[in-house]
Structure 1
């Protein structure tokens, strides 16, 4: 029996694939591109993860790409080909999906919900009834601001801050409904928080949220005085602009290094009885939003962002920064925590220390990781 991975050329899927391949596994990657192009993308993505040379050189022997369309019936395959694929599988890691916070809801529904249903159909068609590992997100907790989110909580009563969160919630609901339809179905749901790396990312490598944010901040830093002129702003005496962002002074986000996260995922996925098991893959310590904002300020030294709980009508410049921040402003009021008892137990069993609280220097490296030396602005000047 073999392992299938969806989303292997993405940020999470490539790190997971590197971990599986380094462990001596062969994998079948379910990809949207023709096989030759998909193998090129996978090789670039694995190289960006820092995968060992032996993993990269052995890809023709250890990886079989199969071109599919995740949101179509039978993954877009002919019936016989779909059944042959299903019968080979003992495990399916479903990592594929859209992650843009501002993506059109219909696209999110098609990719994240319908795509999950088609992967579940593949699992149902297999003679071995493969173990499905569904990579979700801790942000299915939606707009809940306070308290401890349990690993089995799946509650829409607080609403959602983004259509992305809602699509992942609906995907999890689809998983639970599917498991109830037959007695031999097994699913592990993994809920990572915001996954990042401080590794420099080469061109065309998959991006994580902070790399996207860092590229936008770098572009803003380059604009300098043009930013103020565009929005009619007048800098204060030290040449700085101060803009407001909605949020709470004690707000915190859960941010986790991808290297720890994918190792944790592999440790958590073990043989299990029928049913659903859900695990948070999260940092033991939330990162204050203020610490992230300080790192953002390092990227654009002439721009100060000020969290405020007071309602206000955002200026054009503040609206621009809201789009620039890749969704950070929507999470400026969160102070919730996530239970991670299963991961704590797995770490203890393997003698692994959980990651230390994330420093401002680490966050700055995550923001700068997607910049090439030619594009970076080492020290943006005041406008």
Structure 2
């Protein structure tokens, strides 16, 4: 296990309440937030803004990096000013500026990071370069007390992995997708059926109308594999073949297929999570039940996925913990919180901190076993 982040500057731990401005622009949501972290671990969101880009990307059926980067660059300054005004603060009142520095679409990541650098330089405040995935990992701590260690299922459009979280910067990957993320399976299925963008919510809405959710047989991914890894590429292909085989797909056909795909994604996530729970319980056998299973990331907002995970957790003696829906998707409050947690430890970054397209939470695991065939760097996660 290795730290997911090496600070450029390490100082003495910071006592007392810490107020941090966070900026996020890793994909297609531009966001800013101000979070106050108290010494006892409580967090208070003082102000937050999220501006999406769905309308701009919908004609293309997915996120266009150039469009996303331009929109982020145009909005970040104003969003930072808006949350400061809402909180009744000035830049000089903030203890630090935190920004997503990766992983993500590099043009987008640069928008928040460069804005944060300018603000930090102008106000004479520390910069904290945050791993977007660590933001998701810590996001439940925005609204409830959650002690370390806990088991984390990070599941979104770009990432699907299981990690043991023992502290800030102390995360061990025990499972990851070997090809596509769960969110990609939702989005590509929606695109095949012409449901529009974003695909995940569209599939969920349609699946709720299904008359026969068992009508289409979907493959069981990694049926003979006993690890905690995931695979969704075959499911995407099966969904396309099933849809293409329909002569004139009706709304009922689409609903049944959406339910079949959603059900298999939920089943696969729950199955692998159960294996991870067994490993976690064996490693932390003195930890009282129910042990915590945290689910974070955009796919965590899907009701069927949550229900499957809740059932699996209950059977394994775990309690499912998820942030409120607004903190499942990309947001800046989780970035501000992660920045505050780092600052509490006396960590900050030099203004030369780079934007990163890839930034694994567990670099050792990523080096030993890249989760895709995309060379030694592996996937974004």
Normalised by the length of structure 2, the TM-score is 0.31
Normalised by the length of structure 1, the TM-score is 0.31
Higher Cα Rg, which structure? 1
